[in-house]
Amino acid sequence: MAAKKAKNAQADGPRWAHELYDLLRENGVTQFAYVPDAGHKVLINRSLDDPDAHSVRLTTEEEGVALCAGADLGGGRAVLLMQSSGVGNCINFLSLVKGAQFPFLTLVSMRGDFGEGNPWQMPMGQATQPVLEAMGVVCIRVERPEDVIPSATAGITMAFKSGQPVAILLTQKLIGAKKF
Amino acid sequence: MPKAKAKTKTKTKPTRAPSAGPRFELDRLDAVPALVGDHRDFLIVAGLAGTARDIAALTDDGRHTYAMAGAMGAATAMGLGLALARPDRRVLVITGDGELLMNVGSLATAAVLNPPNLSIVCVDNGYYGETGYQQSHTSLGVDLERIAAGSGIAATRTVETADQIEDASRLLREGNGTSFVLLRVKPTDPPAIRRIMDPAACRVRFRENLLGHP
């Protein structure tokens, strides 16, 4: 079943998600680090299917912040895929990014956002952007499918050309709210 | 029960058999340089506090090292990112028991990918030395080599005596998968050394040294 799913990864999911994966690969991103989340399903499956990329399962999102910094030390590029709740796990490690001026790109699938039906998701979802901004991360919110690629392109440029920490927030308006 | 208690009561302190438990006896000032050997064989990521100073002393604050003074728990994942980015170079993560315990799951993350050019050393003194030598989990029964092995790292060693160093040093260089060495040492101070503490300056010099540009 899992193998079948992986095989079909190219066909599943919204078109913007596939374009986003292609965009990241075209821009030299070879390490995709994540704690699994439904909002990142396409990118995760594409990275698993990609023989030229490393698909890195994390036990906690903060590992991904350190991984991205390590990739940069070696001249490589990584991206951290996480749900908004994972942002809370990253806070102290973002001091590594800010203090050492590591380029940093994260794609955050939002929960506790537009139309959330799980009250447990609300506190961190509502705090996600303020917390990121408090640690110096530039946040770009995306609400419409046609804005994904322009926003990601801007984020990639700001991260890897200007050396900034950037979070692309994929809102629940874009990805839909989980049904409860 | 009271009977058994009376039986075990003795006036002389029992001598502990050598195999009775972990031995924190090596001196890190000798053991870390002996284990690492020629440090130029590696790109090195060092965790904060003691191991950062061990490595700064060993390499004269070398440009092929990135030694932290914060972001506790980041060393292993950082080394993993570096190892994946540079399969042509051998990467050494060297960190303390407290630092590794803070993100011990990163051993599982590394083990699943098992990059052949990643070697991890934990200098385990059983204490949080930097904050005044409070006891850590590892002097209270937690065995980080077993955690590393249980995480799936196939090549692991514990070094407690000088005669175990050579084999472990070879493992760090010759493993065909990720390796892990637990180096148990006395809870004594790391070398006193001044090093560059600016994390951005350290990033730039590391990249300039490795890549030829910042």
Q: Average pLDDT, stretch A19-33?
A: 98
pLDDT band at B1 (very low <50, low <70, confident <90, very high): very low
Measured CA distances, A54 to A32, A92, A107 (Å)? 6, 25, 17
Q: What is the ipTM of this complex?
A: 0.93
Measured between CA atoms, the residue of chain A closest to residue B64 is A73
What is the least distance, in Å, from the CA of A106 to any CA of chain B?
Answer: 15
Is A96 part of a structural domain of the chain? yes
Is A25 part of a structural domain of the chain? yes
Residues of chain A with pLDDT > 90, as a percent, come to: 91
Is A38 part of a structural domain of the chain? yes
B209 close to A (CB below 8 A): no
Q: Is A74 exposed, middle or buried (0-12, 13-18, 19+ CB in 10 A)?
A: buried
Residue A63 sits in which domain range? 2-175
Question: Taking a contact as any Cβ pair under 8 Å apart, which residues of chain B between 128 and 167 contact chain A?
Answer: none
Is A180 part of a structural domain of the chain? no
Asked whether residue A163 carries a pLDDT value surpassing 60, the answer given is: yes
Is A20 part of a structural domain of the chain? yes
Task: Report pLDDT digits (tens) over A140-152.
Answer: 999 999 999 999 9
Greatest extent of chain B over all pairs of C-alpha atoms, in Å = 74
Measured CA distances, B108 to A15, A59, A106, A131, B48 (Å)? 33, 8, 22, 28, 21
Looking at residue A12, its pLDDT comes to: 84
A57 close to B (CB below 8 A): yes
Q: Which two tokens stand for residue A4?
A: 């079948």
Looking at residue B177, its pLDDT comes to: 95
Q: Do B74 and A57 touch (CB under 8 A)?
A: no
Is A113 part of a structural domain of the chain? yes
Structural domains of chain B in order of their starting residue, each with its CATH number: 22-211 (3.40.50.970)
Number of structural domains found in chain A: 1
Looking at residue B19, its pLDDT comes to: 58
Looking at residue B17, its pLDDT comes to: 52
Dihedral sign computed on CA atoms, order B105, A164, B117, B52: negative
Mean pLDDT taken over chain B: 92
Task: Report pLDDT digits (tens) over B156-181.
Answer: 999 999 999 999 999 999 878 999 99
pLDDT band at A88 (very low <50, low <70, confident <90, very high): very high
Q: Average pLDDT, stretch A105-121?
A: 96
Task: Report pLDDT digits (tens) over B82-97.
Answer: 999 999 999 999 999 9
- Nearest of B122, B136, B131, B103 to residue B189 by alpha carbon: B131
B79 close to A (CB below 8 A): yes
CATH number at residue A154: 3.40.50.970
Q: Average pLDDT, stretch A3-24?
A: 77
- Which of B85, B113, B202 minimises the CB distance to A75? B85
- Nearest of A79, A16, A3 to residue A42 by alpha carbon: A16
- Which of A70, A74, A100 minimises the CB distance to B199? A100
pLDDT band at A10 (very low <50, low <70, confident <90, very high): low
Is A154 part of a structural domain of the chain? yes
* Alpha-carbon A69 to chain mean position: 15
Looking at residue B136, its pLDDT comes to: 97
Looking at residue A3, its pLDDT comes to: 45
What is the least distance, in Å, from the CA of A117 to any CA of chain B?
Answer: 31
Is A6 part of a structural domain of the chain? yes
Q: Do A60 and B103 touch (CB under 8 A)?
A: yes
Task: Report pLDDT digits (tens) over B95-123.
Answer: 999 999 999 999 999 999 999 999 999 99
Task: Report pLDDT digits (tens) over B3-55.
Answer: 444 444 444 554 545 556 899 999 999 999 999 999 999 999 999 999 999 99
